[in-house]
Amino acid sequence: MINKVVSNVKEALEGVKDGMTLMLGGFGLCGIPENSIAELVKKGTKDLTCISNNAGVDDFGLGLLLQEKQIKKMISSYVGENDEFERQMLSGELEVDLIPQGSLAERCRAGGAGIPAFFTPAGFGTEVAEGKEVREFNGKPHILESALTADFAIVKAWKGDTAGNLIFKATAKNFNPLMAMAGTITVAEVEELVPAGQLNPNEIHTPGIFVQRIFQGDRFEKRIEQLTIRKK
């Protein structure tokens, strides 16, 4: 069995260059590859196209790359928690492609499955549909959406083994497994790394065949994006 383990995040991101397209997993601040993002900031890699459900917050997640002006284009579905993102978008510094969340997930899944495009009713009649082919199915208009792939897919898992098999926890499953399929090179950072054979095969979300590099992260911050409490 092939051992996919690399010694550290620096080795895991070897080959990431200026101008590349990166997929970065996570849902809100849950399941984001924070060790890898920190290394990208350190490397100073720029002119990146980043595909992610969101853009983090101002001082965490992809917000750190935005602060350093390392992202050229964001392909996302939700960016409402990041003031710097808003500033760069409104000033024209940042190119933005906002996509309905379900369409974004399916475009990533399609890319991993080798499906070049698909029709969906989501977005018809809005700016999302501009310039896209429209067909009618069962009396309802659908727009053609293309699949998404990336030079590197960078994901974060709860557990992984040395063969690259991954288990995600809770809402981290929303985008990480889909993106893990769609990268030319997929890098997984994990909270716990175990020998091959120790994971229950029935619990594995991403088979190791999709993963080229895996490492155990050395820091994971459990942030709450929005805290709502009830008054006593």
pLDDT one-digit tens code per residue, 197-228: 999 999 999 999 999 999 998 877 776 667 77
Token reading at 105:
């997930």
Mean pLDDT of 85-91: 90
The pLDDT of residue 56 is above 90: no
Q: What is the mean pLDDT of the chain?
A: 93
> What separation, in Å, do the N-terminal and C-terminal C-alpha atoms of the chain show?
56
> What CATH fold (topology level) applies to the domain 17-116+149-216?
Glutaconate Coenzyme A-transferase (3.40.1080)
The pLDDT of residue 232 is above 80: no
Going by their DSSP bridges, the two strands 95-98 and 71-76 should be labelled as parallel
**What are the residue ranges spanned by the domains of the chain?**
17-116+149-216
Q: What percent of the chain is modeled with pLDDT above 70?
A: 99
Chain centroid to CA 199: 24
